[in-house]
Amino acid sequence: MARPLLPLLLLLALLAPLPLPAGQQTNGIAHGIAHGIAMHGDPALPPDFTALPYVNPAAPKGGTIRQAVTGSFDSLHPHIVKGVPALGTGYVFETLLTRSWDEPFSLYGLLADRVEVADDRSSVTFHIDGRARWHDGTPVTADDVLFSLEVQRQHGTPNRRLFYAKVTEATAPDPQTVRFAFAAAPKDGPEGGIDREMPLLMGLMPIHSKAFWSGRDFSRTTLEPILGSGPYRVAAVDPGRRIVYERVPGYWGRDLPTRVGQFNADRLEFDYYRDDSVALEAFKAGQGDVRYESDPAKWATGYDGPALRDGRIVREELPNRRPEPARGLIANTRRPLFADVRVRRALGMAADFDWIGRSLFHGLLTRTASYYPNSELAARGLPAGEELRALEPFRDRLPPDLFTRPFVLPAGGGPAGLRANRRDALRLLEEAGWRVRDGRLTDAAGNRFAFEILLSNPADERVALEFARSLEPLGIAARVRTVDSAQFQARLDRFDFDMTMRWWASTLSPGNEQLYYYGSEAAGQEGSRNLAGIRDPVVDALARSIAAAATRAELVGRVRALDRVLLWGHYMVPLFHSPVDRVARWSRLHRPDVTPLYGPMIETWWVE
């Protein structure tokens, strides 16, 4: 399935640091209030930089960038659980700080031009840029920030409610300053103490206008354009079919060093299609300017035509160094059918994924064997160093093989190898209480092993149907059902599915969101990303410890430990990922020569 090129987060500005009161320090930066902060160490960019390293400062402004995308939408409000927000809403809103996508996790000022962090990270203070304005021309103030915290604590997405619950005090010393203090977890392990990630997470909190929301219900979906402070605003909406954004005249942040060379198009248009093959044809017909292709079959055979042959369409494979999404067939362990790890492991042995990779994906994808594939965060070999130190306290609660055998996916080996894998799968199923009787896998009460695989994208049906067919020799009946995107999201939010094809995405600096993905508390929160329903105290402790890591080496070791425990839990049947970004664009659309660590960013592209 192709996905749109959207901003990961909006990028920002740096201003010169100011003096600190005596005795204060911020994140290792001496002599002043910081121009930015990093999760570990200091930010890479100096206070006097003039542009991000991956932009063209001389990029011309103007024109329109169009994208043909799949799905639908019913809301312009991306910061609540309800509804399916339109693509591109992130261009409307801003945060106090924003990321440089050429560093694992460093933030620099956006709405806030200066930041100071307590030496132990127990508090953070943001100084709002006096130039920051809402689209109606009114200033962004500390009251807006405090309002944003309160409404997102009450009505925000589950991950934000989880993060912001750690704020113990929020004050506004003056209209342009806001300070947050954080609670410390009990220091009974590596996850105890102050959560070192919280100052950065508060910097990434979306800021809303208190005045705009007066008399409106923040918790409800809406198709009314919401007042923002970002570089674009909504210009036109055709619900579920089309949305258009226009660049804000006189946008307050246009001259900031981390805005230079970005947000160059005057208009952004997203046209929605129900079928991705139709969206591809629309792109080839010139109804879209850029397309991110994640379907290798389409990349290999779907772009041929006059526009490609004469150079009007340009295809590029751009390497990146970020973790790719961990995509797989995720089992809902809330269902008794998938509660036993032996059952989940057996399901992963049934299909010939070597054949699927060659036949369906033209050999262009790599089989995923990590929750952080394509990165240094992936567990490999046997645990050692910081990873082993993170795992050691839980040795008696983990499978012994986790410490003595590298995790490997079932080997291929053609028909003979597949038959051997299925024999092993039947053995595991029998150990879990299942038997094949008259060609049907049943439990002791005679109930058949049968379940549904829920999808939203018809392009995913090929893999799901092949997987379902591979289960038939085990006596398992798997039915594939594809529903529209709104129904799909609603069922995921309620955890109303047996198995689904989905993914978890992480950055190079994972943190609190790992509890939102895999934590026990999130397993019971509707709308969370713990789709598998994981409830494991070891996973909770490891996920919680990541944000408390004091060094990069500690973080990498703890993430690898979490990765290994999740892999041995067999919560998903891993599928595939791409080691490169495959992007097609019409030749009138240009990009900078440098691609950042996290991959191409359309915010830096321009139209000629």
pLDDT tens track for 128-154 = 999 999 999 999 999 999 999 999 999
Question: Is it the case that residue 50 has pLDDT exceeding 80?
Answer: yes
Mean pLDDT of 3-30: 31
pLDDT exceeds cutoff 70 at 559 = yes
Q: 520 lies in a domain? A: yes
Report yes or no on 374 lying in a domain: yes
Average pLDDT, the chain: 91
Average pLDDT over residues 391-412: 95
Confidence check: pLDDT of 10 > 60: no
Q: What is the DSSP letter of 303?
A: S
- Residue 304: CB atoms within 10 A of its CB come to 10
| Residue count (the chain) | 608
**Cα–Cα–Cα angle for 387, 328, 449, rounded to 5 degrees:** 115
CATH number at residue 535: 3.10.105.10
For the chain, counts of helices (H) and of strands (E):
18, 27
Look at residue 234 and tell me if it is in a domain: no
Q: Which residues contact 384 (CB under 8 A, 6 or more apart)?
A: none
Question: Per residue in 336-349, pLDDT tens?
Answer: 999 999 999 999 99
Name the DSSP class of 148.
H
User: Residue 267 pairs with which residues in a beta bridge?
Assistant: 64, 246
Whole-prediction pTM: 0.76
Q: Is the pLDDT of residue 53 over 80?
A: yes
17 located within any domain? no
The domain total for the chain is 1
Instruction: Tell me which of 117 and 547 has the higher pLDDT.
Output: 117
pLDDT of residue 157: 86
The residue among 59, 40, 46 whose CA lies nearest residue 14 is: 46
Determine the average pLDDT of the residues in 356-363: 92
Q: Is residue 403 predicted with pLDDT exceeding 90?
A: yes
Q: Is residue 450 part of a domain?
A: yes
Find the domain containing 339 and state its range.
Answer: 326-577
Query: Is residue 536 predicted with pLDDT exceeding 50?
Result: yes
pLDDT at residue 1 tops 70: no
Distance in Å from the first CA to the final CA of the chain:
28
* Residues 480-518: tens digit of each pLDDT: 999 998 899 999 999 999 999 999 999 899 988 899 999
In a domain, 190, yes or no: no
520 — pLDDT class (breaks 50, 70, 90): very high
Spatial distance between the Cα atoms of 593 and 446, rounded to a whole number of angstroms? 63
Sign of CA dihedral 80, 81, 85, 91: positive
Nearest CA among 221, 204, 565 for reference residue 399: 565
pLDDT at 84 over 60: yes
- Asked, for residue 588, whether it belongs to a domain, the answer is no
What whole-number distance in Å separates Cα of residue 328 and Cα of residue 501? 6
Give the span between the Cα atoms of 185 and 518, in whole angstroms.
19
Query: Could you report the per-residue pLDDT of 459-490, keeping only the tens digit for each?
Result: 899 999 999 999 999 999 999 999 998 899 99
Percent of the chain exceeding pLDDT 90 equals 83
Q: Which residues contact 502 (CB under 8 A, 6 or more apart)?
A: 327, 328, 330, 492, 531
Q: Is the dihedral of CA 486, 490, 491, 493 positive or negative?
A: positive
| 343: in domain | yes
Give the mean model confidence (pLDDT) for residues 167-187: 89
Residue pair 228/139 in contact by the 8 Å Cβ criterion = no
Place of tokens 């105890």: 192
The residues, any chain, with a CB within 8 Å of residue 396's CB and separated by 6 or more, are none
- Sequence-distant (≥ 6) Cβ neighbours of residue 35 within 8 angstroms: 14, 15, 16, 17, 43, 47, 108, 109, 113, 114
